[in-house]
């Protein structure tokens, strides 16, 4: 498969979970992958390299501007270009479902730092490289929750709503440079983190399944096709859009 042949893709939060699935899928399509995470992405990079594809791991804190710039510089040093940024890193599965009055302000700030400040900083780190070549794809990962107003996760839902707005405004600013900016918005995915959070699964699984037109759990693999579409030239004339992939819980 060569849909992404030789394209250089940075994926934040890619050392495990859905981000790791994204990294493997992009590599399988010919992309050269940069696994950016606060966790150690080296084992995944080694796995991808062993498969015959090309990957590197970079320690990166998306909420820190110096770290994000270093991430972009590392990608440029190794591969000489940046074609795609997937802003995947986010805080979600570790959160407790609770009324908004009970959300700790420090937790609110941490969610905003990673989920909103992170995509902003990372986009700013790669944009000059994309502008220089007149080409780029930025894919921001949001969620179906802001479309539905999901309760008891107000900090998370608010952060993902901000990602939708960030995408639209950034698409306007970067369009003249040949850079497309779109959003991928999953539903409740059975990721490693969600599977580990039994309380979250107990509270959300039944109502989410009931709301879907397609009555089954969502897996990370359900997101591969839409991600590849947004990352490749198949979506060349599409920008500022939000692609919801959640089995028809949200229809917009």
Q: What is the pLDDT of residues 181-217, one digit of tens each?
A: 999 999 999 888 888 888 887 888 899 999 999 999 9
Q: What is the pLDDT of residues 51-101, one digit of tens each?
A: 999 999 999 999 999 999 999 999 999 999 999 999 999 999 999 999 999
Percentage, residues of the chain above pLDDT 70: 100
Task: Output 156-163 pairs: Cβ under 8 A, ≥24 positions apart.
Answer: 156/91, 156/92, 156/95, 156/111, 156/115, 158/112, 159/90, 159/111, 159/112, 159/115, 159/116, 160/90, 160/115, 160/185, 162/112, 162/115, 162/116, 163/87, 163/115, 163/116, 163/119
How far apart CA 191 and CA 17 sit, in angstroms, is 6
- The structural domains of the chain, with segments of one domain joined by +, span 8-245
Radius of gyration in angstroms for the set of CA atoms belonging to the chain, rounded to a whole number: 17
Of 3.40.50.300, 3.30.450.260, 3.40.50.720, 2.40.50.140, the CATH number of 8-245 is 3.40.50.720
Q: What is the pLDDT of residues 7-34, one digit of tens each?
A: 999 999 999 999 999 999 999 999 999 9
22, 44 Cβ separation under 8 angstroms: no
The catalytic residue positions are 156
């Amino acid at each position: 498969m060569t849909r992404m042949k030789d394209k250089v893709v940075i994926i934040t939060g890619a050392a495990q979970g859905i981000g790791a699935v994204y990294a493997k899928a992009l590599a399988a399509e010919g992309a050269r992958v940069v696994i950016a995470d606060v966790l150690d992405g080296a084992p995944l990079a080694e796995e991808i390299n062993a498969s015959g594809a090309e990957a590197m791991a970079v320690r990166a804190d998306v909420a820190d501007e110096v770290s994000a710039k270093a991430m972009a510089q590392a990608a440029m040093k190794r591969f000489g270009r940046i074609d795609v940024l997937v802003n995947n890193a986010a805080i979600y599965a570790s959160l407790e479902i609770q009324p908004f009055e009970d959300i700790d302000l420090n937790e609110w700030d941490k969610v905003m730092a990673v989920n909103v400040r992170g995509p902003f900083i990372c986009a700013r780190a790669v944009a000059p490289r994309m502008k220089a070549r007149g080409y780029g794809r930025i894919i921001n990962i949001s969620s179906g929750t802001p479309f539905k107003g999901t309760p008891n996760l107000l900090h998370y839902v608010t952060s993902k709503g901000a990602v939708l707005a960030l995408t639209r405004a950034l698409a306007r600013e970067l369009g003249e440079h040949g850079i497309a900016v779109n959003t991928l918005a999953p539903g409740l995915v059975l990721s490693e983190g969600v599977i580990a959070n039994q309380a979250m699964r107990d509270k959300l699984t039944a109502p989410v399944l009931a709301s879907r037109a397609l009555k089954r759990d969502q897996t990370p693999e359900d997101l591969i096709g839409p991600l590849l579409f947004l990352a490749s030239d198949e979506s060349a004339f599409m920008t500022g859009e939000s692609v919801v992939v959640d089995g028809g819980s949200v229809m917009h």
